[in-house]
Amino acid sequence: MVPLSAAATDTAASKTVAAKKNSLCVFTKPFNSLTFDQLAERIAELGFNGIEAPIRKGGHVEPNAVPDELPKLVDALKRRNLDITVMTSDINDPRDPLTERVLSVAAKLGIRYYRMQYFKYNESKPIASQITEWHKQMVELAALNKQLGMTAVYQNHAGRNYFGAGIWDLHIGLDGIDPTEVGVAYDIRHAAAEGGMSWPIPFQLIRPHVQVVYVKDFIWENSKLVNVPLGKGQVDPKFFSMLKASKFDGPISLHEEYLDHKDPALVPEHLTAIRDDLATLKSWL
């Protein structure tokens, strides 16, 4: 396995080697106040291979502005030997005209992975029929992704009405779909919150679909989920031993969500927190 310290070097060659296995990126939601060049500089200084960029309403680039603005972001990152490893999007409907417009630009820029928008259950309707409809939708999206050479990833998200929270339903919804066309962004924080002590079994169930891994941590506080620094909560470091044993070689995205991402004044604190979380992540890997 390539030493993870390679991710912290500044040479393009070392980043190319590191990217072959478990490329490390960071979700840059807290940094909307930065220019593209400032963002690239800060992330490069932290030692990541790339970013998970929110290219969605309220993100670094609005969907309608993708043709003009996304190439500028990609160029700024390239100047620092970084890439958009994952593009977080509002996309889940292949028939929405904006879907193909956004994805076509992203594909031409060399972006492979994009995170889908969530599906949410309507509790007044049969659950099985909703899963069936979402499966059909993802089959159509898979066909578009195949044409473009892209991979959609659906994140398992804890919560009462999120499709995929329990993992079993996501497994059913993805049945028969090529994981390189629509796969899973496996979030260990949300899996642990939903699965308690049983999360390893759902992980094994969904593992063949996993294309990207998300990392963050949490605690329970008065029956409420509270995000905390990595290593200070409920996420079991043994997960990474399981991940290695499963021969997962896709990107790993670090999410720091325990500070207010909407306050530009907290950017320095976010950078420090991410640096500390990255050190913990590397020790676990």
At 17-68, the pLDDT tens digits run 333 478 999 999 999 999 999 999 999 999 999 999 999 999 999 999 999 9
> Which pTM value belongs to this model?
0.91
Q: Are 254 and 261 in contact (CB under 8 A)?
A: no
Residue-level pLDDT at 21: 78
Cα–Cα distances in Å, from 270 out to 60, 221, 266? Answer: 17, 22, 6
Where residue 167 falls (left for φ over 0; alpha for ψ -120 to 50; beta otherwise) is left
Q: Are 130 and 121 in contact (CB under 8 A)?
A: yes
Rounded to the nearest integer, the mean pLDDT of the chain is: 93
SS3 letters across the chain: CCCHHHHHCCCHHHHHHHHCCCCEEEECHHHCCCCHHHHHHHHHHHCCCEEEEECCCCCCCCHHHHHHHHHHHHHHHHCCCCEEEEEECCCCCCCCHHHHHHHHHHHHCCCCEEECCCCECCCCCCHHHHHHHHHHHHHHHHHHHHHHCCEEEEECCCCCCECCCCCHHHHHHCCCCCCCCEEEEEEHHHHHHHHCCCCHHHHHHHHHHEEEEEECEEEEECCEEEEECCCCCCCCCHHHHHHHHCCCCCCEEECCCCCCCCCHHHHHHHHHHHHHHHHHHHHHC
Structure tokens at 50: 């790339």
180-198 pLDDT tens trace: 999 999 999 999 999 999 9
Percent of the chain surpassing pLDDT 90:
92
84-139 pLDDT tens trace: 999 999 999 999 999 999 999 999 999 999 999 999 999 999 999 999 999 999 99
Residue-level pLDDT at 16: 37
CATH number of 4-284: 3.20.20.150
Residue-level pLDDT at 14: 37
